[in-house]
Structure 1
């Protein structure tokens, strides 16, 4: 499955979209310049539904009544990429997405089993995502056998906090980027 196929599926969602993220770094071709600018301390362009087609899609879906959420399960100390991503999630919030963080240091036993990224659409279709060691997406595999993904989502949500609640907890790590 390719990204355009995933996007077509996301456009058809009727009730809910959930995304579990588990890596400390992702390597996406469209982010390379932004990550470099962040690492160099340069200001990043603001992301909003007005300027980003992906966020526009999310905002439109939320306005139509779908609930979008994600949990990023992470380890501390924060990687440079995670610092970039945590600050970049503000665009997702503006689009109406519920962004949450689950810190493995808080609930290591419960969160240890959450090591694979996936999308869960309307609780009827899961898309498992496979990455290489550098965080490059290798494959996305859809399945209608969703029970394990629903369980993992529920664990991640139970042990997560809202992004805005988490950011003050890691303020000292984020300040390195300002």
Structure 2
């Protein structure tokens, strides 16, 4: 699936957008500069609806009634990438996305990462995200088969009903342990 087709799916969503992330590190070239700045303690540039097309999209579609949510499966100790990614989650949450964190030990193997769009509606579809073991995106696979989409929705439900906690509770827990 080409990047333009993938992007258009988010604009077409009318009910919900869900993301399951299971890898501990993703190799995204566009993130390299920000990740390097994080490593060196350089202040992060503003990332808001004014500066980020992605956050602008999440905010606009949330206002239009689309529910955005995400479950991030984590392993302890957290990887550097996951710690860096927590900052982006705070920004996404600020524009309407509901972010939940869950320990891998609580959910086991949920299979590959995916996006689930408009689950429970006639327009339900998903995108399976295929990565190398190092977190490099290999391809995106559009799924419209009703049974496969239902299976992914069930995996979403397992992730959300396990021991998933809100991003804020997760960050408070880290701060309480001195890990934040």
| TM-score normalised by L of structure 1 | 0.92
Write the distance in 2 (CA, Å) between the matches of 1:7 and 1:152: 23
Please list the CA deviations of residues 99-127 of structure 1 after superposition, one character each: whole Å capped at 9, or x if unmatched.
Answer: 1111124x2xxx11214100000011010
Instruction: Count residues with an aligned counterpart.
Output: 170
Conservation of the 8 A alpha-carbon contact between 1:75 and 1:103: yes
| 1:3 to partner: Cα distance | 2.4
Output aligned runs, 1:1-178, within 5 Å. Answer: 1-105=1-105, 107=106, 111-123=107-119, 124-145=124-145, 146-159=149-162, 160-171=164-175, 172-174=178-180
| 1:26 to partner: Cα distance | 0.7
Aligned-residue Cα RMSD (Å) equals 1.1
Write the distance in 1 (CA, Å) between the matches of 2:89 and 2:15: 22
SS of the aligned residue for 2:156 comes to: helix
SS of the aligned residue for 1:89 comes to: helix
Structure 2 gap segments, 5+ residues each: none
| TM-score normalised by L of structure 2 | 0.91
Structure 1 gap segments, 5+ residues each: none
Conservation of the 8 A alpha-carbon contact between 1:73 and 1:114: no
